[in-house]
Amino acid sequence: MITTIEAIQALAPSTTFQTEGNEITGWDIAEEKTGINQPTQTEIDAEVTRLQAIYDSQQYARDRAEAYPSIADQLDKIYHSGVAGWKADIKVIKDANPKPE
């Protein structure tokens, strides 16, 4: 889940701010130095939505990463079964976690 803090850091990376719980309680933006204006709540909300969509679109990659054997096990598979055997095992994982179109 993308947080408000992550959205603010994406919108205004050189700013500092204070939080209390989930609320922003203070901003330290030197606009004359950074050229960045304090983001509005609408801009922050839109950035949370945008970043969440990017994160969600990569779920298949996170699922694949969890399902892949360790590099050592993959190399052992190649040694014992050849690249074709390794590719067959990896294809099963990729087919179970397809890349969205």
Structural domain harbouring 31: 4-57
The CA-based angle 25-28-31, given to 5 degrees, is 135
23 and 45 in a single domain? The answer is: yes
pLDDT band at 101, cuts 50/70/90?
Answer: confident
Give the pair of three-digit tokens for residue 52: 């969440």
Query: How many Å apart are CA 68 and CA 47, to the nearest integer?
Result: 32
13 and 37 in a single domain? The answer is: yes
Which residue do the tokens 């950035």 mark? 47
Query: Is 63 domain-assigned?
Result: no
What's the sign of the alpha-carbon dihedral 13, 14, 20, 26? negative
pTM for the full predicted model: 0.71
Domain count, the chain: 2
Query: Is 77 domain-assigned?
Result: yes
> pLDDT digit string (tens) for 14-66?
777 777 776 777 776 655 555 667 788 899 999 999 999 999 999 999 999 99
76 and 46 in a single domain? The answer is: no
39 and 77 in a single domain? The answer is: no
Query: Is 78 domain-assigned?
Result: yes
